[in-house]
Amino acid sequence: MGVAWEQWPGGALWKSRWEELVKADRLPVAFLWVGPEGVGKTPIAITLTQTLLCTEGDGVLPCGQCGACAAMLTLSHPHLFLLPPLGGGKPLEEALVLFRERLSKDPFLSLVEWEEVLLGGKGTLSIGVEAVRKLQSWLTLAVPDRRWRVVLFWQAQLLTRQAANALLKVVEEPPEKTLFLFLSTRLEALPATLRSRCVVWRFPPLSAQQLQALAGQPPSAPLLTMAEGRYSRLKRLLAPEQEPYVQALRDWLRGLFRLEDPSRLRAAIETLLTAPRLPELLLMGISLVRAHPELSLAQKTWTIEALLHLADELEAHLNPPLLLWEATLRLQARLRESHPTLEGLLHEAVF
Ligand SMILES: [Zn+2]
């Protein structure tokens, strides 16, 4: 049983790019992998780490049998240093127990899910300078048999400026046989000085087929649209408990453009108000608006702006019912003004 790169989306491509570097003996000091959340950076990073740490493999494929490969199943290999974002005063060691447990079960763990695991919801996470100092002392430990070590920054866009500066010194004079892996949703989130030390790989959004393969079932068209090529999103949307909220979101969006059936709109709003993490759901609604074939550019822009604004305000925990109703009425008026005969134009199926 080996971990095949191919079991992950794009795995064959990343494997061949890695193989080129290995064959040319041009392994970088640091990788910066950039792409939206949920497109497979983490599972590929875990596979690559296992490949490097495996004691029996050929540097391209891990054997899947040795002690190192076994330790990677629980992400507990002593030569792997994980740096997830932290918060709420949780010490790194304590957080890492949770992180290894969750990530080894689900390599598509999302930042929001991690926030829930770590802090039970609300809170701000970052990779701070303290974690980098711990890394620095870890790097001074002796390595038996000149084995490889891997340092994995998960959600590296959350590195604080101070942490990134401290890190620069480490990456500029890297200890030998140590690979730094930065997984980030944004390229510019890392300072240019640090970026210049990294080989950048860009991870694109997943195709409908790739999403379907990961989900093990064909998702409905609106869910695929809302997922925007990110499996972490699709996974969330496919959870049975999400179904009423997704339906309510679609009813609500439809209700913005139609006068009939105000009771359905009211019911949708009431359901939305009970949704866990409504801001996140509203933001996923943006992709439905964007993909709508019949809305004008102006209508899309207003609706998307309103959704962004609403999600922002809701994050601040103001008065959710008031905010949602206000936004609904304001947007309805504006959309109808822009196109008084719009009603009935829109197909039920689209939202
Ligand atoms: Zn192995």
Summarised one tens digit per residue, pLDDT across range 169-180 is: 899 998 999 999
Average pLDDT over residues 17-45: 96
Spatial CA neighbour of 253 closest among 284, 207, 218: 284
Q: What angle do CA 25, 72, 195 make, to 5 degrees?
A: 50
Cβ atoms of 266 and 318 closer than 8 Å: no
CA of 149 to the centre of ligand 1 (A): 14
CA of 28 to the centre of ligand 1 (A): 22
CA of 265 to the centre of ligand 1 (A): 56
Average pLDDT over residues 10-28: 95
CA of 116 to the centre of ligand 1 (A): 33
Alpha-carbon gap, residue 304 to 117, rounded angstroms = 30
Average pLDDT over residues 221-225: 91
Q: Decide if pLDDT at 22 tops 50.
A: yes
**Helix, strand, coil: what percent of the chain each, to 5?**
55, 10, 35
Ligand 1 is an ion; residues with CB less than 5 A from it: 54, 56, 62-63, 66, 69
CA of 223 to the centre of ligand 1 (A): 38
Alpha-carbon gap, residue 170 to 328, rounded angstroms = 51
CA of 10 to the centre of ligand 1 (A): 22
CA of 281 to the centre of ligand 1 (A): 41
Name the one residue in this structure whose structure tokens are 């709109």.
265
Alpha-carbon gap, residue 288 to 228, rounded angstroms = 10
CATH 3.30.420.40 fits 5-204, yes or no: no
CA of 60 to the centre of ligand 1 (A): 11
In this prediction, residue 1 has a pLDDT band, given cuts at 50, 70 and 90, of very low
CA of 318 to the centre of ligand 1 (A): 52
CA of 47 to the centre of ligand 1 (A): 11
Alpha-carbon distances, residue 5 vs 11, 50, 62, 110, 335 (angstroms): 5, 11, 9, 21, 48
111 CB contacts (<8 Å, ≥6 apart)?
Answer: 37, 85, 125, 155
Most confident of 2-6, 150-154, 220-224, 324-328: 150-154
Q: Residue 30: helix, strand or coil by DSSP?
A: strand
In this prediction, residue 350 has a pLDDT band, given cuts at 50, 70 and 90, of low
Please give the pLDDT value at position 2.
Answer: 44
Spatial CA neighbour of 84 closest among 109, 64, 57, 66: 109
CA of 304 to the centre of ligand 1 (A): 48
- DSSP per residue over 183-244, as a string? EES-STTS-HHHHTTEEEEE-PPPPHHHHHHHHTS---HHHHHHHTT-HHHHHHHHSGGGHH
In this prediction, residue 146 has a pLDDT band, given cuts at 50, 70 and 90, of confident
CA of 59 to the centre of ligand 1 (A): 10
CA of 79 to the centre of ligand 1 (A): 14
Buried b (16+ CB within 10 A) or exposed e, 258-297: beeeeeebeebbebbeebebbbbbbbbbbbbbebbeebee
CA of 36 to the centre of ligand 1 (A): 30
Please give the pLDDT value at position 259.
Answer: 65
Q: What is the ipTM of this complex?
A: 0.99
Please give the pLDDT value at position 339.
Answer: 65
Going across the sheet that includes 198-202, the strands are 80-83, 149-153, 178-184, 30-34, 198-202
pLDDT-wise least confident of 20-34, 89-103, 244-258: 244-258
Spatial CA neighbour of 7 closest among 246, 331, 231, 318: 231
Q: Decide if pLDDT at 212 tops 90.
A: yes
In this prediction, residue 341 has a pLDDT band, given cuts at 50, 70 and 90, of low
Please give the pLDDT value at position 210.
Answer: 96
CA of 172 to the centre of ligand 1 (A): 30
Q: Decide if pLDDT at 213 tops 70.
A: yes
Q: Decide if pLDDT at 345 tops 90.
A: no
- Where is 44: in which H helix or E strand? helix 41-53
Spatial CA neighbour of 182 closest among 44, 29, 30, 10: 30
Alpha-carbon distances, residue 24 vs 17, 18, 28 (angstroms): 11, 10, 11
CA of 138 to the centre of ligand 1 (A): 23
Alpha-carbon gap, residue 295 to 350, rounded angstroms = 11
* Structure token digits, residue 151: 């340092």
Condensed to tens digits (0 to 9), the pLDDT of residues 297-312 reads 888 999 999 999 999 9
